[in-house]
Amino acid sequence: MGMMHSPRTAQADIAALAAEMFDDIRAQSADTAGVSRPAFSDRETATLEYLAQRARAEGLCVHEDAGRNLLFCLPEHEHAPRYTVIASHVDSVPMGGNYDGLAGVIAGLMVLVAAQRGLRTLARPVRVLAMRGEESAWFGACYLGSKILTGTLPDAEFSTTHKGDGRTLGAHLEALGLDTAPIRSKTPLCDLDRIEAYLELHIEQGPLLVERDLPAAVVTGIRGNFRYRNIRCIGRAGHSGAVPRAYRHDPVLAFGELMHRLDGTWAHLLHTGRDLVATCGIVGTDPARHAIARIADEIAFSLDIRSQDLETLDRMQTYLDDEMADIARTRGVTFDCGPQVAVAPALMDTGIVTGLMGAMDAVTGHAFSMASGGGHDAAVFAQAGVRAGMVFVRNRHGSHNPEEAMEIDDFMVGVDILSTYMEAAS
């Protein structure tokens, strides 16, 4: 008679399986630094094929959908009319970390493996979805795989070109064997009415969980944003020693004043309980013209404003317009903001948030929630009308870099939160 495994040993076996899968995929997609799994590429396909092989070895059913993504489920749920999706993406940024996206897919698989091994019970059918093409690094647009699935891919993004080979997204999809006619006509490639809920586990991409010494968190919403990639502040060039302050039209000082005002307003809004982050990630004068003894005639910079609250985003847009107009008037410069890119906030379903908070409390003895600063596929499904929820797992050194450092114990806390939630789901 075989020896029965204790619950602790069985849990360790699940953790060991997950760790082995992370290691295998890291080796399979290794680059000069970190990993590279380009969207809609052979390397992305190889990752999906590896996941399919491991899932079948565990007795799970595996299907490919019309978007060339993979779906996994328990055999008894193969023909379920409705189901909860646990999903994330398998592509990565160039020379990025191994856990961004992939952790969510493997977490979903571990929920199924635990159920298939008789360690957990799922109250509702679950399908794990391993998606392609979430990262914007390859085609300049994000969430391509989930937009294709939900029938929301904009025409302009279908024609966007790959950063490496210059071929369009449409050409890459056709090379994978996709029928692009439904995508062009914005026909969903999945039956959204069959999806009861969408859940996604993801590594936290900031420092909050590390600083608070917490293994996981429940996400309340995904911040929307508006962004300007290339704002030009235009002044007048002059000799640094010959033009008195009163006669200067200095765009560098105008930019500095705008940033100082923005930082003060940001601090004030945080103090009043608003959710807001503001970033200037690109700034510079023209290297061909700037000099130590020259008043710059122009400075270019980016702005990225994010919040869970649409009213806060609208308020910040008005604020920036007013501040730039005031600074332009007082400093004798002009601001040209150029095109804006905007994404609406996506709030997670309050019922799912409550359920996940209860599951987290049951697993860890402490429930904690936070906003997501980065975007995720969950936002696309939420905006398509699907009830959505997310769990973050602690991760050191940020994301989109080879130093991503998620500990398997923290990952398993996230898996347990999902499993506990699905045991109680009704």
pLDDT of res. 1: 39
Distance CA 139, CA 174 (A): 15
pLDDT of res. 81: 97
Distance CA 27, CA 40 (A): 19
**What average pLDDT does range 199-216 have in this prediction?**
98
96: β partners = 35
Distance CA 59, CA 64 (A): 16
Query: By three-state DSSP, how is residue 60 classified?
Result: coil
Distance CA 184, CA 23 (A): 37
**What average pLDDT does range 27-50 have in this prediction?**
98
Residue 68: which of 145, 140, 162 has the closest Cα?
Answer: 145
- Tokens found for residue 211: 């600083």
Tell me the H-state helices in 151-286.
Answer: 155-158, 169-175, 181-184, 208-212, 251-271
Kindly list the structural domains of the chain, giving each domain's residue range(s) and its CATH number in brackets, ordered by start: 7-223+345-424 (3.40.630.10), 225-343 (3.30.70.360)
Q: What is the pLDDT of residues 243-300, one digit of tens each?
A: 999 999 999 999 999 999 999 999 999 999 999 999 999 999 999 999 999 999 999 9
Q: What is the pLDDT of residues 143-181, one digit of tens each?
A: 999 999 999 999 999 999 999 999 999 999 999 999 999
**What average pLDDT does range 17-27 have in this prediction?**
99
Cα separations in angstroms, 369 against 108, 131, 222, 348, 351: 20, 26, 12, 11, 14
Listed in sequence order, the residues at least 6 apart from 276 whose beta carbon sits closer than 8 Å to its beta carbon are 266, 269, 270, 305, 306, 307, 312, 316
Burial (0-12, 13-18, 19+ Cβ within 10 Å), 14: buried
Residue 426: band (very low, low, confident or very high) from pLDDT cuts 50, 70, 90: low
Residue 3: band (very low, low, confident or very high) from pLDDT cuts 50, 70, 90: very low
In this structure, are residues 302 and 228 in contact, taking their beta carbons and an 8 Å threshold? Answer: yes
Crossing angle of helices 102-116/7-28, nearest 10°?
A: 140
What's the N-to-C CA distance of the chain in angstroms? 37
Within a 13 Å sphere around the CA of 333, how many CA atoms are in the beta-carbon half?
Answer: 32
**What average pLDDT does range 34-48 have in this prediction?**
98
Q: Per residue in 298-310, is it b (16+ CB within 10 Å) or e — as a string?
A: bbbbebbbbbbbe
- Tokens found for residue 326: 């005031």
Query: By three-state DSSP, how is residue 9 classified?
Result: helix
Burial (0-12, 13-18, 19+ Cβ within 10 Å), 109: buried
Residue 343: band (very low, low, confident or very high) from pLDDT cuts 50, 70, 90: confident
Judged against a pLDDT cut of 50, whether residue 100 lies above it is answered with: yes
pLDDT of res. 182: 96
Cα separations in angstroms, 39 against 43, 87, 374: 9, 16, 18
pLDDT of res. 7: 73
- Tokens found for residue 350: 């309050």
In this structure, are residues 68 and 183 in contact, taking their beta carbons and an 8 Å threshold? Answer: no
Within a 13 Å sphere around the CA of 21, how many CA atoms are in the beta-carbon half?
Answer: 30
Average pLDDT value for the chain? 96
pLDDT of res. 5: 62
Distance CA 401, CA 93 (A): 8
**What average pLDDT does range 390-419 have in this prediction?**
97
Q: Which pTM does this prediction carry?
A: 0.89
Residue 145: which of 223, 82, 199, 91 has the closest Cα?
Answer: 91
pLDDT of res. 4: 52
Phi, psi of 132 (to 5 degrees): -95, 160
